[in-house]
Structure 1
Amino acid sequence: MFERFTKDAREVVRGAVALCRNAGGGTVGPEHLLLALLDREASRGSFALAALGLPAEGREPVREALDEARRRAGLSRADADALAGLGIDVSEIVSRVEEVHGVGAMSGDRRDTGRRTGRSGLGRPGSGRPGFGREAKSVLEESLRIALAHRDRHIGDEHLLLALTARPGPPAEVLADHGVTHVSLTRVLYAGGEARAG
């Protein structure tokens, strides 16, 4: 599938792996893909974000919100609210864990070479290269489905962005908080049905 990716989409995937590795994580998640997308400039995805009011210089609040979600072990606000309904205060749990183990202890970004299995084919055991987790793989697969549905020949970073907004979880939630939804992105990218990735 990677051969169908445009240069921008490949850079997003490589950037996600680098972000995960630099943070000490063993598994690339959807949040790494979104963070790598936020770093792109002059791509269809970055132009779509800017058109929706999220220019490159204004993306720091999105990064901060993703960091906060990672501190909650990737739980979305909806997940935290559901747990609160059961009497479980996620903020309190995070605070207690961080008191003992340090800030970010629940994020999964801790150096643990034993967890680097590389079962995705993008990483190898002992290679130090993080593998792709199930959710990140699902985003990549969804980007292919989206590209095919729009009859695009290649998978661009805009398809990765659309896939991130189509799946529930912190990336979609954070983007929606900033006015970037699957519907609004589709409208910006495919108004009139003439826009195509290439």
Structure 2
Amino acid sequence: MFEKFTAGARAVVRGAAEQADRTGNGTIGEPELLLALLERTDSPAAGVLAALGVHERREPVAQALAEVRRRGGATAADVAALAGLGIDIDTVVARVEETHGVGALAADGTAGRRKRVRRPFTPEAKAVLERALRIGAGRGERHLGDEHLLLALTTGSGPAGAVLADLGVTHDAVVRSLDETRGRRAS
């Protein structure tokens, strides 16, 4: 699969591993992929994220992803749905953290590890990579760039897709921005 990745897409995967190292997370998931995309400055995905106003909101995105992780993966939409059923997720998280410590729902059993290890991808992150390949093939492209990773994140229902959607970054908006950029290059 990785032989089709451009240098930019490979940089995103390496950046996601570095994000996991920084947070002490034992796996590479959607949040790490999104944060790595936000670190890029000169790539198709970086151009789209800048055009859609996400680059200047990197810190709020990082905070939103950290909150999703702290809540054990529950997105803002999940929190709202549970609230509709009378369940206050913040209360649940607080009670769990009282008993098991802060970040208990986010922990993957490797917190505090300092040794650099090869971190596996979560099933959700693997699904993003697979969707990215299908998206690239569907667009008639022979490579997988960071723009395909961004498109794949926007089609999923995971934490990264939910945070992007909250910012108005939808699959359609990304496609439009990519097409506009390509149209300007072709002129």
* TM bracket (short chain): 0.7 to 0.9
Aligned 8 A contact 2:21 2:116 in 1: no
Distance 2:45 2:174 in 1: 9
SS at match of 2:103: coil
SS at match of 1:27: coil
Distance 1:63 1:9 in 2: 20
> What RMSD, in angstroms, separates the aligned Cα atoms of the two structures?
2.5
Aligned 8 A contact 1:24 1:109 in 2: no
Match of 1:162 in 2: 151
Structure 2: 5+ residue runs without aligned partners?
none
Aligned 8 A contact 2:26 2:111 in 1: yes
Q: Does 1:179 align with 2:174?
A: no
Displacement of 1:171 in angstroms is 1.0
AA at the equivalent of 2:131: E
Structure 2 CA distance for partners of 1:178 and 1:188, relative to 1, 3 Å:
same
Structure 1: 5+ residue runs without aligned partners?
114-125
SS at match of 1:74: coil
TM-score for the superposition, normalised by structure 1: 0.83
Distance 2:172 2:37 in 1: 18
Structure 2 CA distance for partners of 1:195 and 1:98, relative to 1, 3 Å:
farther
Match of 1:45 in 2: 45
TM-score for the superposition, normalised by structure 2: 0.87
User: How many aligned positions are there?
Assistant: 184
Percentage of matched positions with identical amino acids: 54
Which digits, 9 at most, give the CA deviation of each residue in 1:116-175, with x for residues without a partner? xxxxxxxxxx98321011100000000001101111121111100010000112211211
Q: Does 1:151 align with 2:140?
A: yes
AA at the equivalent of 1:137: K
